[in-house]
Structure 1
C-alpha cells in the first residue's frame, strides 16, 4: 500500500531566523502476537535523516503503534524546530483521523488523537 500523506502541519513554534523548507516524517507501525514495534524517519530540508526504531513494552495494535510513532516523530520535529512538517503513514485509519476525515471513535485512539492535536497546535 502506498504511504498516505497526513495533513501538512505548520507548527507555531519559536524558530531561529532562516528556518525554512519542509521536513518529512515517515512512520510505520507493526504489531504481532509477540511484539509491537514502529519506525520513525525524520528528514530535514537539507536531506539529513534521523532514524529511530521503537519497540513497545505493551501490546499495541498496528494503528496504535502508528500513532505512537507519529507522536515520537512530531516531538522530534518540534525539538529540531521544524516549521513545516509533512508526515506520511501507511495507516489509512490514522491518516484519515488526523486529517479530520474520519471520526475518532475508540477511546484509546481519542487519547492519541488528542495528544497529536496538542503537539501540533
Structure 2
C-alpha cells in the first residue's frame, strides 16, 4: 500500500559555524495529519550542513514510517537546487551529505523537493529552535 508523506525539514546554526540543530515534521499527504516529528542537536557546524542533516533526518523518519512517496519541503533553496541537480555541489562536506541524500531518496518510489519561504516551514523551524534552546541550558 502506498503511503504519501510530506516531509518538512529544516536545519539551522546560530553563527556560521555555530551551535546547530536539524528537525523534521512528517504529515500524511492526503489528510495533513502529523505522523511524526523529530529534532537533533548537531553541535558546532554550518547552516548548510544543518540543512542537509535536517533532510537526512526527515528521510530516515519517512522510511521508518513506511513511506513510499515523499514530498520534501524546506527553506533552503541551496539544498533543494543541489538535490534537484540545478546547482553543482562543490564543497567537500556538502558532497558527502549530498550523496547520502541521493541514496536515501533513491529508496522511495518517487520523491520531490522544493524550497519555500521560512514562514511556510514554521513547524520544522520551531523544532530547530527548541533543540538549540534545550542544548543551551
Q: Please give the range of the TM-score, normalised by the shorter of the 2 chains.
A: 0.7 to 0.9
State yes or no: 1:37 paired with 2:32. no
Aligned twin of 2:90: 105
Instruction: Considering fraction of residues, name the structure with more helix.
Output: 2
Question: If the length of structure 1 is used for normalisation, what is the TM-score?
Answer: 0.77
State yes or no: 1:90 paired with 2:72. no
Deviations 1:84-116 (A, max 9, x none): 100011111101000100000000000001001
Match of 1:56 among 23, 38, 42: 42
Question: Unpaired segments of 5 or more residues in structure 1?
Answer: 1-17
Q: Provide the aligned length of Structure 1 versus Structure 2.
A: 102
Name the SS of the counterpart of 2:45 in structure 1.
coil
Deviation >2 Å, runs of 4+: none
Question: If the length of structure 2 is used for normalisation, what is the TM-score?
Answer: 0.69
**TM-align CA RMSD:** 1.4
Ranked by relative contact order (alpha carbons within 8 Å, sequence separation 6 or more), the top structure is 1
